[in-house]
Homo-oligomer: A and B are copies of this chain.
């Protein structure tokens, strides 16, 4: 387990999933803990603010660094809003998946759609594109917000 001796020995695979995160720190634990209590996508600043409110003492730069590192190691999902602000969320699904986000309250549902993946791949390949990747997010009004809006309109 220890990596003593053996000159030229490379750090094995486990490191791959830990880019920029060799150590466990109080701050990182706190950030993950804060995220685990949220259901929607939050910006770094929102997360930081919430942590301060909860009595945690963490620097804003640290929050940014950790969110970024966690996202790179696929432990968080990222969503870049229309306003350019980056938001993060701890997801249930482990692999590739998409989101259905309420544009009013932020409530988020994860979904898989193999048909969509296949269709996109086909279209891209027909055009000669390779090494594919994509972004797909769906926005709408969840049942609760739809009801609230209907009521507001009715009066």
Contact A119 B116, beta carbon cutoff 8 Å:
yes
How far, in Å, is A76 (CB) from chain B's closest CB? 15
What per-residue 1/0 map shows which CB atoms of A108-140 lie under 8 Å from chain B? 010101011001100110011111111111111
A97 to B128, CA, bound (A): 19
A131 to B141 CA separation, bound complex (whole angstroms)? 6
Interface size on A, residues (CB 8 A): 35
The complex places the Cα of A111 from the Cα of B109 at a distance, in Å, of 27
In the complex, per-residue mask of A85-104: 1 if CB is within 8 Å of any chain B CB, else 0: 11000000000000010110
Q: Closest B-chain residue to A84, C-beta based?
A: B84
A124 x B138 contact (CB < 8 A): yes
Residue A58 at the chain B interface, CB threshold 8 Å: no
Q: Verify A135–B132 contact, CB threshold 8 A.
A: no
Q: What B residues does A80 contact at CB under 8 A?
A: 80, 82, 84
The reply to whether A103 and B133 contact each other, CB–CB distance below 8 Å, is yes
Q: Are B124 and A140 in contact (CB under 8 A)?
A: yes
Using known A-B contacts A80-B84, A86-B84, A135-B135, determine if residue A141 contacts B116 with beta carbons closer than 8 Å: no
Pairs of residues from A and B, 7 with the lowest C-beta to C-beta distance, nearest first: A129-B140, A128-B143, A84-B84, A132-B140, A134-B138, A131-B141, A133-B139
